[in-house]
């Protein structure tokens, strides 16, 4: 079945349907990862986004039960060059197509993804309509113009209740604020002997204090960080009281809590091969990234935060810290999934800070 992709600037592409056969108005972005489409498909940070995969073959190793980053994938859509519906992998439990059908996620294949990616790179991320091939350009542009993308993504993907993730011989207790958290973050903390209590995005500081954590973690998630003032307020109230570690959206929330500003990037950073420099050590890390927003460098000057990492592709802020308050954060994903493991040491840094706080208590 043929499908059409209409961009808000009037460009259109025709391909074939896989996954759920439905129309969708989304934001179009691209991801340069060469593997890990299951983790990308199930990452809550892609809520309301149509992801163009630059790697040309998707679906070839199927879907494995252990590789989901959430139980209920909310990605807007997948757009790929070639889709393979006959995967070959001993871990494969079902096809990407069947999973996308189950969760109502549309897909389009047979598209010139190189041309489409260049369009996003040159013109920026923008609204896109995935629709039936019979939809005229005029009809599609009218739908795009008259409808806005939602701004409540975090509230839709965050956990609704407080829950625990136990581990044997737990040495530390971490409260994780779930703004759309990937499972591998919890797994990474559990592997470091942390018992994790996950709380919803809008949990207040008093509730978190009552849980008596050794440290607080702020997760990744979708959308504009300024759309979650409740989380920003909670973090502001917790600063100086516990060690705090933030990843991706959590990094932006921490920066906003200190009075810095954020802005939207032209087309964001998404992939598993982004070079980041640690300005303290000079070491270059190859990182996994997925975000549309960045922290404004100049706005950090009037805060106690210092820049710890920078992106070598465009010079954007990739990490900040306040040593006085035992707070630090990074824009990228040290838990990866998919991606390299260069940045896994950041979890050890969090553990060391919590250990130090306990020893001096």
Each residue's pLDDT tens digit, 161-205: 999 999 999 999 999 999 999 999 999 999 999 999 999 999 999
The yes-or-no answer on residue 335 being catalytic is: yes
The catalytically annotated residue of 248, 274, 285, 309 is 248
Mean pLDDT of the chain: 97
- Cβ-contact 174, 197 below 8 angstroms: yes
- Cβ-contact 201, 155 below 8 angstroms: yes
Percent of the chain with pLDDT over 90: 97
Q: Where in the chain is the domain with CATH 3.40.50.880?
A: 154-359
Stretch (H or E) spanning 24: strand 24-31
Q: Where in the chain is the domain with CATH 3.50.30.20?
A: 2-149
Classify 154-359 by CATH class: alpha beta
- CA geometry: angle at 121 spanning 115 and 127, to 5°? 90
Q: Report the distance separating Cα 21 and Cα 1, nearest Å.
A: 9
The catalytically annotated residue of 269, 274, 291, 333 is 333
The yes-or-no answer on residue 179 being catalytic is: no
What is the Cβ-side half-sphere exposure of residue 193, based on CA atoms within 13 angstroms?
9
pTM of the complete model:
0.97
Nearby residues of 27 by Cβ (< 8 Å), 6 or more positions away: 48, 49, 50, 76, 125, 126, 127, 128, 149, 292
The catalytically annotated residue of 39, 285, 321, 335 is 335
Q: CATH code for 2-149?
A: 3.50.30.20
pLDDT beyond 90 at 332: yes
- Cβ-contact 146, 166 below 8 angstroms: no
H helix intervals, the chain: 37-41, 96-102, 113-123, 137-146, 153-157, 183-191, 205-210, 229-238, 249-257, 345-359
Percent of the chain with pLDDT over 70: 100
């Amino acid at each position: 079945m043929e499908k059409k992709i209409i961009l808000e600037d009037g460009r259109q592409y025709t391909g074939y349907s896989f996954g759920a056969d439905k129309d969708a108005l989304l934001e179009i972005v691209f991801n340069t990862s060469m593997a890990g489409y299951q983790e990308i498909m199930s990452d809550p940070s892609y809520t309301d986004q149509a992801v163009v995969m630059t790697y040309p073959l998707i679906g070839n190793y199927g879907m494995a039960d252990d590789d989901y980053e959430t139980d209920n994938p909310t990605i807007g859509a997948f757009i790929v060059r070639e889709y393979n519906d006959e995967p070959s992998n001993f871990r494969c439990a079902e096809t990407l197509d069947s999973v996308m059908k189950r969760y109502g996620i549309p897909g389009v294949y047979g598209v010139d993804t190189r041309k489409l990616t260049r369009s996003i790179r040159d013109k920026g991320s923008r609204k896109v309509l995935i629709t039936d091939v019979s939809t005229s350009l005029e009809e599609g542009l009218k739908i795009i113009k008259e409808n806005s993308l939602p701004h409540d993504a975090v509230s839709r993907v965050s956990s609704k209740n407080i829950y625990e993730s136990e581990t044997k011989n737990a040495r530390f207790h971490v409260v994780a604020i779930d703004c759309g958290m990937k499972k591998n973050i919890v797994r990474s903390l559990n592997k470091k002997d942390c018992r994790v209590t996950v709380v919803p995005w809008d949990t207040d500081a008093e509730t978190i204090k009552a849980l008596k954590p050794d440290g607080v973690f702020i997760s990744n998630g979708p959308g504009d960080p300024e759309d979650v003032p409740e989380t920003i307020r909670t973090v502001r109230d917790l600063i100086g009281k516990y060690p705090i570690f933030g990843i991706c959206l959590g990094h932006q929330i921490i920066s906003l809590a200190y009075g810095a500003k954020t802005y939207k990037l032209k087309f964001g950073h998404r992939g598993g091969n982004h070079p980041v420099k640690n300005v303290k050590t000079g070491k270059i890390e190859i990182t996994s990234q997925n975000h549309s927003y960045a922290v404004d460098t100049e706005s950090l000057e009037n805060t106690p935060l210092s820049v710890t990492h920078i992106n070598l592709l465009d010079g954007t802020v990739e990490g900040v810290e306040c040593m006085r308050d035992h707070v630090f954060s990074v824009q990228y994903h040290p838990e990866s999934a998919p991606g390299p493991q260069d940045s896994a040491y950041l979890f050890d840094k969090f553990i060391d800070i919590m250990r130090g706080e306990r020893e001096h208590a």
